[in-house]
Amino acid sequence: MGSEAKAGHVLVLPFPSQGHINPLLQFSKRLVSKGVRVTLASATSHLNSMQWQVSYTNFDVEPVFDGVDNGGSETIDEYIERFNANIPRSLAELIDKFSRTADPIKCVVYDSALAWVLDVARSSGVAGCPFFTQPFAVNALYYHYLQGVLKFPLEETAVSLPAMPALEFKDLPSLIYERTSHPAICNLILSQFSNIQDVFYIFCNTFSELEHELEVWMASKWPIKPVGPAIPSMFLDKRLDGDRNYGVSFFKPSTDTCLKWLDSKDPKSVVYISFGSMAALGEDQMAEMAWGVKASNFNFIWVVRESELKKLPTNFSEQTSDKGLVVTWSPQLEVLAHDSVGCFITHCGWNSTLEALSLGVPMVAMPVWTDQPTNAKYVTDVWQVGVRVKANEKGTVTKEEIERCIREVMEGDRSSEIRKSSDKWKKLAIEAADEGGSSDKNVEEFVAKLKAFPS
Ligand code: UDP
């Protein structure tokens, strides 16, 4: 990138996990398309994959040291602590380095869970904008939790909050009642409210039409700006720009295998199954899933990450080779955009949820933890684009239940109603991101303000 940028220079700092990088990467691409210069700050231990991911884009990647020298086998909680201890200094040095160039950083856009970035930005004399990678609903819930509004024990009464449907215990983000199991993740996420009253804007990967009442409620408190769905524009408006290599994965997708296989199937005949980059099912649950999908007799693509493959029942792939394909990572957006796909069994990670919604694919919601239960509530009860599995008294979702849910979405009485809602939301998502749409206007507004920032 040249040093002359019309609108200004923005430094983007994602948290390096798949579900957190993807939306910030897509948002960065949008900023670039509107004349902003973007530099992506990548944690050193993820630098190689990050450089590979952005090799096709118009922005630069600069390393920030996360303290991991040898890629050791730490837990996510341990990594978070190391990341937070090391990145601030390295980030300040990076901003300082650019301040001595013709094109200094004007603003840092950062994952909202990294609240301390605002202090670094301010002490370096630049503005800061957090980016919520989860929907308004989940952020509002965390905020209410911090305010002590949620009454414990949460199991006993439905939670009723401003601008939200009544939520039962099963609909709440699990971190609210799992604080002790994941202290670093919880602290990271809850810390985002410590200074958001002082920020310039808060971006969110959602769109106005999707969470309108919550947007109004949140806007009465903070300068929030929905800018989603943060997925590549080629999937939203079908103006294929030749940028098929949008590669946004830390894992290697089986792109050709999946697409060739899908090409050979009838329209809306395939069930796509994925639990994202982190959620893991127990071995028994994997077996129930496997036999439930087999019993449905629909075609399927199932993403089983390398680390989970050993949990598949013996001979499952052989027994289902005429109907199914198991891959360790898929080109998810291309799969969801394919005509052959009729439904998505998903853990309801926010990116997966928004991707399926934006591409009009009905869902079977099978949330595992964090924000996923709340996202599932929206899928089934608010947007009405899918059904949710029910676990039995032992907490297992049986093969019969999985088969029932697949049938309900693919061919049951409610199937056409669900498809109608899915088509409606797809249209609204495209409109929001398209030129002049609600999210596009918010991005434009930011770019116009950025031009006026002092350098
Ligand atoms: N994804 C993918 N291929 C897969 C599974 C997931 O490209 O086989 C992408 C998916 O499109 C999404 C991200 O990985 O953008 C997962 O994010 P999400 O928030 O859904 O779940 P998380 O991994 O954070 O639990």
Rounded mean pLDDT of 311-325? Answer: 94
Tell me the pLDDT tens digit for each residue of 347-389. 999 999 999 999 999 999 999 999 999 999 999 999 999 999 9
Q: How close is the Cα of 255 to the center of ligand 1, in Å?
A: 15
The protein residue whose alpha carbon is closest to atom 7 in ligand 1 is 332
Select from 138, 235, 334, 351 the residue to mutate for testing ligand 1; criterion: most ligand atoms less than 8 Å from CB: 351
Select from 18, 133, 185 the residue to mutate for testing ligand 1; criterion: most ligand atoms less than 8 Å from CB: 18
Tell me the pLDDT tens digit for each residue of 25-70. 899 989 998 999 999 999 988 877 776 666 666 788 899 999 886 5
Residue 267 has pLDDT above 50, yes or no: yes
**Which pLDDT does position 165 carry in this prediction?**
86
Residue 80's nearest CA partner among 175, 180, 185 is 185
- HSE-CB at 191 with a 13 A cutoff on CA atoms is 16
Rounded mean pLDDT of 179-198? Answer: 87
Distance CA 416, CA 420 (A): 6
Does the annotation count 111 as an active-site position?
Answer: yes
- Ligand 1 atom closest to residue 355's alpha carbon, by position in its atom list: 11
Pick the catalytic residue: 9, 46, 66, 111? Answer: 111
- Ligand 1 atom closest to residue 348's alpha carbon, by position in its atom list: 20
- Is the Cβ atom of 358 under 6 angstroms away from ligand 1? no
Structure tokens at 50: 């990050």
Name which residue leads in pLDDT, 198 or 1. Answer: 198
Distance CA 169, CA 330 (A): 32
- Is the Cβ atom of 350 under 6 angstroms away from ligand 1? yes
3-state secondary structure of 381: helix
Q: How close is the Cα of 84 to the center of ligand 1, in Å?
A: 24
What is the rounded average pLDDT for all residues in the chain? 91
Query: Residue 135: which residues within 8 A CB-CB, separation 6 or more?
Result: 204, 205, 206, 210, 211, 350, 371, 374, 375, 378
The alpha carbons of the chain give a radius of gyration, in whole angstroms, of: 22
